[in-house]
Amino acid sequence: MNKLNSLHSTTDSYMKQKEMTELHFEVLPPIKLPLIKRIYKDHYPSAKAKKDELCIVGAINGTICTVVRFRSIEQYRLLTGMLVVPVHRGQGVGSQLLGYCESHILTSQDYCFAYSHLESFYCAHGFRTLAPNEIPQSLMQLLERYLRSGKDLIPMRYMGKASENNQLL
């Protein structure tokens, strides 16, 4: 009987721990923008959140640990400012955030300028690398400005969930 109680206690403890580490995603209301401005200041100083952007955050136990923004440019949106707080990196948090966005946010009008070392990461979430002639002019101007400043970026477009793309092949 003690072994059964011990096993039950261990299972309860595991389930509570699992619940505590579960990510919860939400669209951040503009009034809460200062929360992510602080995170950016601490971990990604060049990122500047603006109130006219769509901000998605992921939190564990009420503490924001990941964020991504969508900036409207003409009829397109640019995925920008994706950040996973360093202590949560390597745990799949970024993949879960993009998975949430795939299910609830992303459309074929969404683009991103991925750092070259993250190209495969974005490809795994339904983005496809673009040739220069496939980039809308308004986004191309912005990309050229970033490239002139020395950033190693690759233009990409969301083409649908990666699993849907594989089924089409």
Task: Give domain status of residue 81, yes or no.
Answer: yes
**What's the structural domain count of the chain?**
1
Q: Is residue 143 part of a domain?
A: yes
Is residue 25 scored above 60 in pLDDT? Answer: yes
Higher pLDDT, 11 or 109: 109
Query: What is the pLDDT of the chain when averaged over all its residues?
Result: 88
Any domain includes 8:
no
Share of the chain above pLDDT 70, in %: 83
pLDDT at position 161 is: 74
pLDDT in tens, 32-51: 999 999 999 999 999 999 99
Specify if 134 maps to a domain. yes
DSSP string, 127-162: EEE--GGGS-HHHHHHHHHHHHTT--EEEEEE-S-H
Confidence label for 15 from pLDDT (cuts 50, 70 and 90): very low
Domain extent for 135: 21-168
Residue 8, CA atoms < 13 Å, CB-side half-sphere: 5
In tens, the pLDDT along 75-87 reads 999 999 999 999 9
Q: What is the pLDDT of residues 68-124, one digit of tens each?
A: 999 999 999 999 999 999 999 999 999 999 999 999 999 999 999 999 999 999 999
- Please report how many Cα atoms fall inside a 13 Å half-sphere around the Cα of residue 29, on the Cβ side: 2
Q: Would you say residue 20 has pLDDT above 60?
A: no
Residue 79 lies in a domain: yes
61 pLDDT higher than 90: yes
- The DSSP annotation for 20-76 comes to HT--EEEEPPGGGHHHHHHHHHHH-TT----TTSEEEEEEETTEEEEEEEEEEETTE
Q: What is the DSSP letter of 86?
A: G
Q: Are 153 and 115 in contact (CB under 8 A)?
A: yes
Asked if residue 94 belongs to a domain, the reply is: yes
pTM over 0.95: no
The total of other beta-carbon atoms located within 10 Å of residue 102's CB is: 18
CATH number of the domain at 144, please: 3.40.630.30
Residue 125 lies in a domain: yes
